[in-house]
Structure 1
Amino acid sequence: MSVFKDLSPQLISNAFVAFLFAASGPVAIILSVGAGGRLTSEELASWIFGVFIVNAAISLFFCLKYRQPLSFFWTIPGTVLIGPALDHLTFPEVIGAFLATGLLMAVLGLSGVVGRLMKAAPMPIVMGMVAGVFMQFGLNWIGALRDDAAIAIPMTVAFIALSALPRLAKAMPPLIGALIVGIAAWGIVHGFNIDLGDSVSRVGLPLVHVPEFSLQAMVELVVPLAITVLVVQNGQGFAVLKSAGHEPPVNAIAVACGIGSMVAGMVGGASSCLTGPVNAIISADGPKEKHYAAGVVVALLAIPFGLMAPVFTKVMLAAPAAFIASLAGLAMLRVLQMAFMTAFQGRFIFGALITFLVTVSDLTIFNIGAAFWGLVFGVVASWLLERKDFETLA
């Protein structure tokens, strides 16, 4: 196949680093959210299976069909978004919202309106919501520095040191460095006490859930999830790929995200999206016409990881709480920084502020969570007090 001829050592290296990124901090976020929502290790393993296997299949198809680095994984903001929802919704209700969101995205993609939808959404208000839902991960990282300094401080020092040295960071991304140092600190301070139990016998066997479709879950989750995928996550991915000289198929990607979300949702996986960080890594070097080959390698690495999800889940759940909190928090720092920068400069600043405050407040009205109300109140505030900013969206 031509894909093997197009591979180079640099592209393979980029693909491996991109995969390690996806399999470290973002997986820690799944475990953190799931543990907070009282999901079992089997449910978490099935979730990880779904988001790796399903999105690897989509990525392979798109990379080979369009000859572009089109890597799909799952929405991190959407994952964080369902954390508070699990306090008052059952997991089957959340899964029902995943399926409804997937159907909505597929329909929007088929209708061809996704590009116009992305332009019409006030990005500062959307990013105000994102900043609000990500805030807790930053706070958990700070708490880990206090509660288990022997784990959190070395991880933080490694992350900052690598971030301060761009040349070294290119060979060893800061998050990967923090992961390695954290594993070493885990072994030295606490020792590795991991009981795999029957996880090996469950390799490659996800749980198939029966979804429940409740009005509360639909109202609270579907619109925010669709916005985070189509506007925030996919928008980031499009920007990354266009800066590298690619022209991603916007509507086809929306359809794929919708279908992937419905399939992954059946085994408990969060909504699919076109990933920004992974695509940024694999399109950073080399001729652009060969970047797709790195995307193929990422997908091929994701498949065995997904199949081994029960084992990896047991290992991660055995880690000290500070290890997960630090890894997830450090993974969120740049995204949280970008969310604040986008939300609070230029247009819709007041609406973004209201959205952020309402989201952070954990306000619940009619049993509907704060992220939804943050968007509602933010848009209303901007419509009343920043009317001229809406004229710029036309």
Structure 2
Amino acid sequence: MPGSAVHEHLLERPVRPLAGPRRLLQDAGGVYAANGLIGLVFAATGPVAVILAVGAQGGLSQQELASWIFGAFFLNGVLTVVACWLYRQPLAFFWTIPGTVLVGPALSHLSWPQVVGAFVATGVLVLLLGLSGWVRRAMAVVPMPIVMAMVAGIFLRFGIDLVHALRDDVMIAVPMVLVFLLLSALPSLGRRVPPIIGALVVGAVAVVVSGRFSPAVAGGEWFAAPVLQAPEWSLQAMVELVVPLAITVLVVQNGQGIAVLRSAGHTPPINVATVACGAWSILTAVVGTVSTCLTGPTNALLAASGERSRQYTAGITCGLLAMLFGLFSPLFTSAMLATPPAFIAALGGLALLRVLQASFVAAFSTRFTLGALVTFVVTVADTAVLNVGAAFWGLLAGLAVSGLLERPDFSSGRS
């Protein structure tokens, strides 16, 4: 059938034969288990601090935050395990961090059900783009410098919050920053203890020593009890969030994840990954989790060492550990929320420091620099127009300025 032939060509086929238990045991090993653990620890530290910071800003309850983290880890962990097994390469799926940051300002004038409705709509949009095969064309509509300028604008607040944490809570934030800088400056040591992990450990010790760990503030639940979120359909939420969220999934996160895996010698299934992100975004929205994406940093860690043909077992390990972490999401959430605000602010700021740097470099080092600047300024201004958030208007303003004043950059990009 012509239609089915197109469909088969569109969606990349899994590797045959599928790896059985014996093959999985043969391909597994200490190196891959360690890489899987490191990938999970990375995702479960700074990025989780970003979720908690955004949720606290938006007034979400501890139960809603624990449900968000359950979806981010358990449900996405299931997808990671299946994808790695089917395509026999590291394919870690987690959640869009810039999309998470977008949610914070939106919650100042949108209800949580309205935001969840935008999560569902974003999943539908990404799913349709994946099934249509228009992913590459959709990714090329908005120039990357303008997209990264929007990302830099929404991430800047976390860098500022890091500075404020240093000002407001010296005993907690300063040791975290010093250890992070030390481990970053000594690559041989930083490979053994990743800088963000060192900052987490030292910060936790500082919190305990200062006597400011207050677990009684948070409840005593250990196991996940997902809070099912009924979406509410709001035109304002759709206009403000859906397109920027889809861009962060397809261009920022998936684009980075695909580039990382290709540089490691893998051939990621782009259309299947897009379809999976769309379908899973609809699923995770049910428990209040932001859109699913193919992660860049975690996949880089999974493919950091070992034989390329066996690195998929690192992804399976990471996915299984993520499922375990998600099952205990209330315990981890309550532990993090029992720490001083400066601990989460410092951890989130340090986790996003390199990402913020890369965003600025990508935004202002090549083409569309004026459009990128306009996008950045409008996004940082954080002024809603017609009750629609600044990130959306930043993208439109940057595109308009580049279309008017930087037209040669469009043609040079196509060439």
Q: TM-score range, shorter-chain basis?
A: over 0.9
The equivalent residue for 2:232 is 212
Question: Is 1:189 the counterpart of 2:229 in the alignment?
Answer: no
Note the C-alpha offset of 1:392: 2.8
In structure 2, C-alpha distance between the alignment counterparts of 1:215 and 1:120, rounded to whole Å = 23
| Deviation per residue, 1:141-168 (Å, 9 max, x gap) | 0000010010000000010000001111
The equivalent residue for 2:406 is 386
In structure 1, C-alpha distance between the alignment counterparts of 2:353 and 2:365, rounded to whole Å = 18
Partner SS state of residue 216, structure 2:
coil
Note the C-alpha offset of 1:196: 7.1
The equivalent residue for 1:75 is 96
Question: Is 1:276 the counterpart of 2:332 in the alignment?
Answer: no
- RMSD, aligned α-carbons: 1.0
Note the C-alpha offset of 1:193: 2.4
The equivalent residue for 1:123 is 144
Indicate if the aligned counterparts of 2:219 and 2:334 stay in contact, CA closer than 8 A.
no
The equivalent residue for 2:194 is 173
The equivalent residue for 2:110 is 89
Note the C-alpha offset of 1:197: 5.9
Partner SS state of residue 195, structure 1:
helix
Indicate if the aligned counterparts of 1:261 and 1:271 stay in contact, CA closer than 8 A.
yes
Question: Is 1:335 the counterpart of 2:355 in the alignment?
Answer: yes
Which ranges of structure 1 fall in alignment gaps of 5 or more residues? Answer: none
The equivalent residue for 2:252 is 232
In structure 1, C-alpha distance between the alignment counterparts of 2:217 and 2:285, rounded to whole Å = 26
Partner SS state of residue 68, structure 1:
coil
The equivalent residue for 2:371 is 351
In structure 2, C-alpha distance between the alignment counterparts of 1:195 and 1:298, rounded to whole Å = 31
The equivalent residue for 1:291 is 311
The alignment of Structure 1 onto Structure 2 pairs a total of residues equal to 393
| Deviation per residue, 1:207-252 (Å, 9 max, x gap) | 0011001000000000000000000000110110000000101111
Indicate if the aligned counterparts of 1:53 and 1:302 stay in contact, CA closer than 8 A.
yes
TM-score (norm 1): 0.98
The equivalent residue for 1:155 is 176
Question: Is 1:110 the counterpart of 2:131 in the alignment?
Answer: yes
Amino acid across the alignment from 1:43: E
| Deviation per residue, 1:18-55 (Å, 9 max, x gap) | 11110000000000000000000000000000111111
Note the C-alpha offset of 1:204: 2.4
Indicate if the aligned counterparts of 1:354 and 1:381 stay in contact, CA closer than 8 A.
yes
Question: Is 1:52 the counterpart of 2:57 in the alignment?
Answer: no
Question: Is 1:221 the counterpart of 2:209 in the alignment?
Answer: no
Identity %: 55
The equivalent residue for 2:287 is 267
Note the C-alpha offset of 1:4: 2.4
Which ranges of structure 2 fall in alignment gaps of 5 or more residues? Answer: 1-20
Question: Is 1:258 the counterpart of 2:278 in the alignment?
Answer: yes
The equivalent residue for 1:40 is 61
TM-score (norm 2): 0.93
| Change over 3 Å in CA distance of 1:134–1:101 after alignment to 2 | same
Question: Is 1:365 the counterpart of 2:385 in the alignment?
Answer: yes
Note the C-alpha offset of 1:120: 3.6
Partner SS state of residue 311, structure 2:
helix
| Deviation per residue, 1:112-140 (Å, 9 max, x gap) | 11122223430000000000000000000
Amino acid across the alignment from 1:114: V
Partner SS state of residue 273, structure 1:
strand
The equivalent residue for 1:309 is 329
Amino acid across the alignment from 1:291: Q
Amino acid across the alignment from 1:149: V
Indicate if the aligned counterparts of 1:115 and 1:250 stay in contact, CA closer than 8 A.
no
Runs of 4+ deviating beyond 6 Å: none
Amino acid across the alignment from 1:240: V
Indicate if the aligned counterparts of 2:254 and 2:293 stay in contact, CA closer than 8 A.
yes
Indicate if the aligned counterparts of 1:196 and 1:311 stay in contact, CA closer than 8 A.
no
Amino acid across the alignment from 1:40: S
Note the C-alpha offset of 1:195: 1.8
